[in-house]
Structure 1
Amino acid sequence: MTVKSEGKELVITRVLNAPRKLVFKAWSEVEHLKRWWGPKGFEISVAQLDFRPGGFFHYNMQSPDGNQMWGKFVYQEIEAFEKIVWLNSFSDEAGNIVRAPFSDLIPLEIRNAVTFSENNGNTTMTLCSGPFNATEEERSFFEGMFESMHEGFRGTFDQLEEYLSAHS
């Protein structure tokens, strides 16, 4: 996995031993997504997935000690097997955007774009994340979280890789 910041975005690239079509399905179908998305060790419950531009993914994350947090993706752009762009936020149970329960400085919304390219049956997945409509203070805080976000995404993408290896 490669991690770098280009400007004020976090960029993570991971090569997966799975065909692009399967990797895309893992991101776009509820039965796949709920089995790998989120921090390592958390249980994900899906409230709703409407995978289309303007649609959303609303989910609950429960930590091993029982704490719960809600999250939401609002899809902006989808190109089948190529790219998914969404705004990610913490939410309440009704799907309203709320501040992160652990910091008032995390931007309310983070724009994510994940792209997929296939070479000899392996898929290169690149995720670019950056603050959306954030204050300067929120942008600065986001940039200071790159190392911690890298660790979080490593665990999430490890789960994706394990899931794909069992389904390819």
Structure 2
Amino acid sequence: MTEQSKQGLLLSRVFNAPRELVFKVWTDPKHFGKWWGPHGFSLDVIKMDVRPGGMFLGCQRSPDGSQAMWGKFVYQEVTEPEKLVFVQSFSDEEGNTIRAPFNANWPLEIMNIITFEEIDGQTTLTMQGGPVNATAEERAAFDEMAPMVKQGFGGTFDQLAEHLESQQ
């Protein structure tokens, strides 16, 4: 199930894995770098301190290595294995927030709320994300790109499903 709501984007997917494992691959740098991001891109995890106030810092590289984009999460809430809340931004190598390289009106910060619910050994992951402290132009840019963001997360979640299978 995927829909766009007033709070941004809402995505939900069922994974054939226990909740503790799904949570672990979101919070352990040894796992996270193996599945996060667009298909074919690599992710170098520079820092991953999963606690309120902690930060993830990483660099995604295109398949041919010609493009590199830095990004960060600042964790707001961590309730193992039930919930992760973080603010996501593009960044420079030091973790300073910068504008997205693809759109000058892309919001500087996106709040993501992820919940993990296990039923009969399967985990339903629900992710809600949307702009924080955004201007009207930034909200419009986010809404315009929502279908591409949804498609991108579909691919990322496919990679997550494959990674989870390899861990069981």
The TM tier, using the shorter chain, reads over 0.9
Counterpart-to-counterpart distance in 1, 2:103 and 2:7: 19
Which residue does 2:33 correspond to in 1?
34
Q: CA deviation at 1:65?
A: 2.7
Where in structure 2 are the equivalents of 1:141-156 lying within 5 Å? 141-156=141-156
Contact kept? 1:91, 1:98, Cα under 8 Å: yes
Q: CA deviation at 1:8?
A: 3.6
Which residue does 2:113 correspond to in 1?
113
What does the per-residue CA deviation read over 1:98-155, in whole Å, with 9 as the maximum and x for residues that have no partner? 0011110110010001000000000000000000111011011101111101110011
Counterpart-to-counterpart distance in 2, 1:101 and 1:141: 13
Counterpart-to-counterpart distance in 2, 1:8 and 1:24: 23
Question: What do you get for the CA RMSD once the two structures are aligned?
Answer: 0.7
Q: Give unmatched runs, 5+ long, in structure 1.
A: none
Which residue does 2:128 correspond to in 1?
128
What does the per-residue CA deviation read over 1:1-57, in whole Å, with 9 as the maximum and x for residues that have no partner? x11122141000000000000000010111111111111110100111111000000
Contact kept? 1:44, 1:61, Cα under 8 Å: yes
Q: TM-score normalised to the size of structure 2?
A: 0.97
Matched residues, percent identical? Answer: 51
Q: Residue type matched to 1:125 in 2? A: L
Q: Give unmatched runs, 5+ long, in structure 2.
A: none
Counterpart-to-counterpart distance in 2, 1:35 and 1:129: 22
Contact kept? 1:3, 1:12, Cα under 8 Å: yes
Contact kept? 1:8, 1:143, Cα under 8 Å: no
Displaced runs of 4 or more, over 6 A: none
1:96 aligns with 2:96: yes
What does the per-residue CA deviation read over 1:63-86, in whole Å, with 9 as the maximum and x for residues that have no partner? 013210100000000111110000
Instruction: Report the 3-state secondary structure (helix = DSSP H, G, I; strand = E; otherwise coil) of the residue aligned with 1:145.
Output: helix
Instruction: Report the 3-state secondary structure (helix = DSSP H, G, I; strand = E; otherwise coil) of the residue aligned with 1:127.
Output: strand
1:19 aligns with 2:26: no
Which residue does 1:81 correspond to in 2?
81
Counterpart-to-counterpart distance in 1, 2:135 and 2:5: 19
Q: CA deviation at 1:167?
A: 0.4
Q: Residue type matched to 1:143 in 2? A: D
Instruction: Report the 3-state secondary structure (helix = DSSP H, G, I; strand = E; otherwise coil) of the residue aligned with 2:34.
Output: coil
Counterpart-to-counterpart distance in 2, 1:79 and 1:144: 32
What is the total number of aligned residue pairs between the two structures?
A: 167
Contact kept? 2:7, 2:128, Cα under 8 Å: no
Which residue does 1:46 correspond to in 2?
45
Instruction: Report the 3-state secondary structure (helix = DSSP H, G, I; strand = E; otherwise coil) of the residue aligned with 2:128.
Output: strand
Instruction: Report the 3-state secondary structure (helix = DSSP H, G, I; strand = E; otherwise coil) of the residue aligned with 2:37.
Output: coil
